[in-house]
Amino acid sequence: MGYRVVIAGATGNVGREMLNILAERQFPVDEIAVLASRKSLGTEVTFGDKTLTTQDLDTFDFAGWDMALFAVGSDATKKYAPKAAAVGCVVIDNSSLYRYDHDVPLIVPEVNPQAVHGYAKKNIIANPNCSTAQMVVALKPLHDRAKIKRVVVSTYQSVSGSGKDAIDELWDQTKAVYNPTQDVPPSVYTKQIAFNVIPHIDVFLDDGSTKEEWKMVAETKKIIDPSIKVTATCVRVPVFVGHSEAINIEFEDFLDEDEARDILREAPGIMVIDKREDGGYVTPVECVGDFATFISRIRQDSTLDNGLNLWCVSDNLRKGAALNAVQIAELLGREVLKKG
């Protein structure tokens, strides 16, 4: 006996990836419904060897469905998630809407699986921001050993985090650089993204940080430990898929780089590729399509008594979004619903 599963936003990048991962991981599905807005109604998507036709999110009846994976953005989630939750369908939401709600657990299964039992307050579980998800997978096993005091992170985030239009903008601008007769002005981004980097993701806040940077701070505290101090600089780079992060960590206790490497090798969801030679590290191109969070360049920070540096890379459409949502669904099934 399996689950009745809904994918809301099935025609977008993340929704399609959710379907791929459910099939790849052989999630026990009895029945699946794919939903979209009216402008995408009737679009066909694939689930394993099946072709599914999207139904109207606006009129769909969630009663009798076990769980719904939402990838529709905050505005649509605000309208439809409470309707699903009210009739007993557990919502796993990829938007930022519920991440900071005290009554909604924010979960990365490798990090805080016990939080899943808090879902019942609202019948909703939140998926973290893509840049936070991969970072906390790396931080948690190290925190358990030496307790993290402070994290300084700089991100190098791919355009797929902004959706299909951003991927098209990078592609079109790149071609235009080699064809002077074409002009592709910025539309998704505030400046040219091709052959450029933009230190601006999401809106600016009063203190000069961006909302993306604030998310990394707030979510790390909620998922791991509110006492951890985090400062972030988030940058968009001309990469199609795969987020990278340079992470500097200050611990309360000394942690040797060799021990840190061993800890990370044994930690769930992590693949350590760390050879001190040409090519002995992972780049975003190599992580695409993989489930793992890759860690490289682990080394002592000589400017701190208890400091480490590392390089963290992951497929943002997978671990940063769709994979984490499916892992939450697996966790919910295993720990709470217990079907399949």
Supply the CATH number for residue 252's domain. 3.30.360.10
The secondary structure element, H or E, covering residue 32 is: strand 29-36
pLDDT in tens, 310-324: 999 999 999 999 999
Which positions are annotated as active-site residues? 130, 243
| Residue 339 predicted with pLDDT over 90 | no
Helices (H) and strands (E) in the chain, counts: 8, 14
Domain membership flag for residue 52? yes
pLDDT value for 3: 97
| Residue 217 predicted with pLDDT over 90 | yes
Q: Is 99 flagged in the annotation as binding?
A: yes
Same domain, 110 and 225: no
Same domain, 41 and 148: no
Domain membership flag for residue 79? yes
* Residue with more model confidence, 152 or 41: 152
Strands (E), 252-340: 270-272, 293-300, 307-314
Same domain, 109 and 153: no
Same domain, 326 and 235: no
Same domain, 114 and 211: no
Domain membership flag for residue 120? yes
Q: How many domains does the chain have?
A: 2
Same domain, 93 and 150: no
Distance, CA of 270 to CA of 313 (rounded, Å): 10
Q: Is 13 flagged in the annotation as binding?
A: yes
Same domain, 18 and 106: yes
The 10 Å CB-count burial string (b at 16+, else e) for 300-312 is beeeeebbbbbbb
Residue 329, domain CATH: 3.40.50.720
**Is residue 320 a contact partner of residue 243, using CB atoms and an 8 Å limit?**
yes
Domain membership flag for residue 90? yes
Residue 79 belongs to domain spanning = 3-127+321-336
Domain membership flag for residue 294? yes
Q: Is 12 flagged in the annotation as binding?
A: yes
Torsion of CA 172, 175, 178, 184, to 10 degrees: -10
**Is residue 139 a contact partner of residue 224, using CB atoms and an 8 Å limit?**
yes
Q: Is 123 flagged in the annotation as binding?
A: no
pLDDT in tens, 156-209: 999 999 999 999 999 999 999 998 888 899 999 999 999 999 999 999 999 999
pLDDT value for 1: 79
The secondary structure of residue 320, as a DSSP letter, is I
3-state secondary structure (DSSP) of residue 115:
helix
Same domain, 117 and 210: no
Alpha helices in the chain (DSSP H): 13-24, 74-86, 130-146, 164-177, 211-223, 257-266, 284-287, 323-332
Domain membership flag for residue 215? yes
| Residue 340 predicted with pLDDT over 70 | no
Q: Is 2 flagged in the annotation as binding?
A: no
Domain membership flag for residue 252? yes
The answer to which of 80-84, 151-155, 160-164 has the lowest mean pLDDT is 160-164
Mean local confidence (pLDDT), 79-96: 97
Mean local confidence (pLDDT), 4-24: 96
pLDDT value for 81: 98
Q: Is 316 flagged in the annotation as binding?
A: yes
pLDDT in tens, 56-76: 999 999 999 999 999 999 999
Same domain, 254 and 327: no
**Mean pLDDT across the chain:** 97
Q: Is 197 flagged in the annotation as binding?
A: no
Same domain, 149 and 77: no
Distance, CA of 260 to CA of 337 (rounded, Å): 36
Same domain, 253 and 325: no
pLDDT in tens, 250-303: 999 999 999 999 999 999 999 999 999 999 999 999 999 999 999 999 999 999
Alpha helices in 119-193 (DSSP H): 130-146, 164-177
Q: Is 157 flagged in the annotation as binding?
A: yes
Q: Is 160 flagged in the annotation as binding?
A: yes
3-state secondary structure (DSSP) of residue 299:
strand
Same domain, 277 and 231: yes
Domain membership flag for residue 209? yes
